[in-house]
């Protein structure tokens, strides 16, 4: 079942974010800067703030009352102008449920609820690049930022039109 997130989901959103983020970005082991970032970023307050902000929507995929994935939509974020639509800020799926259609289901729900024109970015070394390409997302650019003394390069994708 896919539904809108609520305050009762905060602990699960935090824990799932930590699992997915750490599994994705700590390929070279658990460094202090990674741990400090994840613990400081993914908090109940962070998600509660998103739930209260008009520009954000969070939907969760739930199976047997357990959250197995979620999507965060930022309706006001733009990449190179409004023609690229809104931003899908996060699409996180529990590692045990990856490859089982959860990500696809969440993407379908995002499209049904918010529209088909959206963009997202993902780390160039993330296995999710193959997932988005397989679904017909178009590579439209790059974003980069500094993290822990390293330049992190991200691919920017546009949803299939």
Closest CA to 110 of 55, 59, 51: 59
Closest CA to 90 of 148, 19, 138: 19
Phi, psi of 82 (to 5 degrees): -70, -15
Domain boundaries, the chain: 2-158
User: What is the spatial distance between Cα 149 and Cα 27, in angstroms, rounded to a whole number?
Assistant: 16
* Chain segment 90-135, per-residue pLDDT in tens: 999 999 999 999 999 999 999 999 999 999 999 998 899 999 999 9
Strand order in the sheet with 56-63: 2-4, 56-63, 66-74, 86-93, 118-123, 150-158, 138-147
CA distances from 155 to 5, 102, 109, 111 (A): 27, 22, 23, 20
* Chain segment 135-156, per-residue pLDDT in tens: 999 999 999 989 888 899 999 9
Cβ atoms of residues 62 and 2 within 8 Å: yes
Q: What fold does the segment set 2-158 form as a domain?
A: Aminopeptidase (3.40.630)
Instruction: Say if residue 144 is exposed, middle or buried (CB neighbours under 10 Å; 0-12, 13-18, 19+).
Output: exposed
Helix (H, G, I), strand (E, B) or coil at 159: coil
Scan for tokens 């918010």, then name that residue.
114
User: What is the spatial distance between Cα 94 and Cα 18, in angstroms, rounded to a whole number?
Assistant: 10
User: What mean pLDDT is predicted for residues 85-94?
Assistant: 97
């Amino acid at each position: 079942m896919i539904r809108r997130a609520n305050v009762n989901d905060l602990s699960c959103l935090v824990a799932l974010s930590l699992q997915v983020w750490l599994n994705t970005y700590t390929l070279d082991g658990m460094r202090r800067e990674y741990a400090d970032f994840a613990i400081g970023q993914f908090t109940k307050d962070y998600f509660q703030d998103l739930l209260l902000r008009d520009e954000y929507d969070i939907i969760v995929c739930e199976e047997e009352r357990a959250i197995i994935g979620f999507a965060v939509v930022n309706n006001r974020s733009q990449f190179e102008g409004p023609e690229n639509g809104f931003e899908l800020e996060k699409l996180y799926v529990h590692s045990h449920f990856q490859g089982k259609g959860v990500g696809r289901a969440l993407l379908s729900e995002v499209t049904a609820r918010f529209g088909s024109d959206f963009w997202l970015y993902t780390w160039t070394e993330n296995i999710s690049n193959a997932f988005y390409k397989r679904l017909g997302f178009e590579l439209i650019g790059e974003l980069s930022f500094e993290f822990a003394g390293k330049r992190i390069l991200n691919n920017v994708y546009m949803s299939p039109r």
